[in-house]
Chain A
Amino acid sequence: MTVRKNQASLTTDEKRRFVAALLELKRSGRYDEFVTTHNAFILGDTDNGERTGHRSPSFLPWHRRFLLEFERALQSVDASVALPYWDWTVDRSVRSSLWGPDFLGGNGRARDGRVSDGPFSGASGDWPINVRVDGRTFLRRSLGSAVRELPTRAEVDSVLAMATYDMAPWNSASDGFRNHLEGWRGVNLHNRVHVWVGGQMATGVSPNDPVFWLHHAFIDKLWAEWQRRHPGSGYVPAAGTPNVVDLNEPMKPWNDMAPADLLDHTAHYTFDTDA
């Protein structure tokens, strides 16, 4: 069984294996397929049209499935690898070991945002940005520049306290847990972290930065924490909602699993904090 651990507690060897698996997926071309898929949904998901990956109730199960696909791809390279998660309520600084040269590398330089250390730097030659929205082919970051502070634990707790999973109109205007976690309303958790990292992470091709997976693994963990706090609250809508993925409706692009099949993460992996 896969155990997803806090990135801050990974051993040197676990970091090394995770990075090596990422680089192998990149080298083989499989990594960029995930970036392409994500951007297609980012461009296609609209508040008043079909919406699956974002700005909709299926934001959480869609990303859960997307991360599962990615984790399986990593494990096809190295079966010992699991996706770590980044608890940005605790590791809130540019000086966090997350950004060390032995892991994800650090901030981009002021002039052009170029990440210049670590395994994913432009200079390494191992991490070309191929699926892109502009001409720049190197990984960029500007940690903490577009927005100063990552969300706090108190802000997270205020969102976890919301007992309703999601509400009509089932989009970026919704009240409820999902949209507050996603960040289009309220204190803004998930969206703000993308903006805080900057560079490709602030764009539709955000999976170009490996921190994408660690961020979403934590968002996924917060969904699990919410379920634990609200055992009587389930995924909604249940049925018959135009343009929106209902509980038992298969999700694109896989078309073989509905949100109902993804509600229990323990069928696929556990967290290091799971009792």
Chain B
Amino acid sequence: MPQLSRRRALTAAAALAAAAGAAPVVASVTAGNANAAPAEATTPDTTGHHHGHTSPAPFDEVYKGRRIQGRPVAGGGHQHHGGGYAVFVDGAELHVMRNADGTWISVVSHYDPVPTPRAAARAAVDELQGAQLVPFPAN
């Protein structure tokens, strides 16, 4: 069967994002959704576009002995499904994604939404039990 390599999939998606001339557009939080993320400190969207949402604030902490960081990033060469937000565990990028209702998931906890990217980073540290992340475009 024709196989889609992860690199090709990522490259195609990045090209689409670049063609759109902006980071992926993120929908506003659905009002009245029981699963919607609680309000958290935010910074203005780095893309300068009006998506009806703001990007979560950066964070940087040591959690269970590992450094977790999150920060808004401009869209472009990388695919940031966090709507222009990147998360790192000990410097290695953790693929995160923002759901339509404002919750977050990561590639190591993909079926279990949590309220914030920091919560996704902490859930990843819990799941990893000390293991190192593999950089996600690798394969």
- The residues of A with any CB-CB pair to B shorter than 8 Å are 33, 36-37, 39-44, 46-50, 55, 69, 112-113, 131-136, 146-147, 169, 171-173, 183-185, 190-192, 194-195, 202-204, 206, 252-255
Q: How far is the CA of A47 from the CA of B98 in the complex (A)?
A: 8
Residue in B24, B107, B132 whose beta carbon sits within 8 Å of that of A203 in the complex: B107
* Chain A residues whose C-beta falls within 8 Å of the C-beta of B134 in the assembled complex: 132-135
- With A46-B97, A134-B131, A172-B99 as contacts: A40 and B4 at CB distance below 8 Å: yes
Q: A193 → chain B, closest Cβ, in Å?
A: 8
- With A39-B6, A254-B1 as contacts: A133 and B108 at CB distance below 8 Å: yes
Dominant secondary structure of chain A at its interface with chain B: loop
Dominant secondary structure of chain B at its interface with chain A: loop
Most interface-central of B1, B2, B30, B35 (chain A CB within 10 A): B1
Q: How far is the CA of A132 from the CA of B107 in the complex (A)?
A: 10
Interface string of B1-39 (1 = CB under 8 A from A): 111111011101100110000001111001001010000
Q: Are A43 and B107 in contact (CB under 8 A)?
A: yes
Whose C-beta in chain A lies nearest to the C-beta of B8? A40
Say yes or no: is B64 at the interface (Cβ < 8 Å to chain A).
no
Say yes or no: is B49 at the interface (Cβ < 8 Å to chain A).
no
Q: Are A204 and B2 in contact (CB under 8 A)?
A: no
Number of cross-chain contacts by CB at 8 Å: 126
Q: Are B24 and A49 in contact (CB under 8 A)?
A: yes
Say yes or no: is B118 at the interface (Cβ < 8 Å to chain A).
no
Q: How many of chain B's residues have a CB under 8 angstroms from any CB in A?
A: 44
* Chain B residues whose C-beta falls within 8 Å of the C-beta of A194 in the assembled complex: 110-112
Residue in B1, B33, B101, B132 whose beta carbon sits within 8 Å of that of A69 in the complex: B1
Q: How far is the CA of A146 from the CA of B79 in the complex (A)?
A: 29
Q: Are A48 and B6 in contact (CB under 8 A)?
A: no
Residue in B2, B24, B112 whose beta carbon sits within 8 Å of that of A191 in the complex: B112
Q: How far is the CA of A161 from the CA of B109 in the complex (A)?
A: 29
Q: How far is the CA of A203 from the CA of B24 in the complex (A)?
A: 23
Q: How far is the CA of A255 from the CA of B1 in the complex (A)?
A: 11
Say yes or no: is B119 at the interface (Cβ < 8 Å to chain A).
no
- With A49-B16, A113-B129 as contacts: A169 and B9 at CB distance below 8 Å: no
**9 closest A-B pairs (Cβ-Cβ)?**
A173-B100, A40-B9, A191-B111, A253-B4, A194-B111, A47-B100, A134-B131, A204-B107, A40-B6
Q: How far is the CA of A262 from the CA of B132 in the complex (A)?
A: 40
* Chain A residues whose C-beta falls within 8 Å of the C-beta of B60 in the assembled complex: none
Whose C-beta in chain A lies nearest to the C-beta of B25? A48
Q: A194 → chain B, closest Cβ, in Å?
A: 4
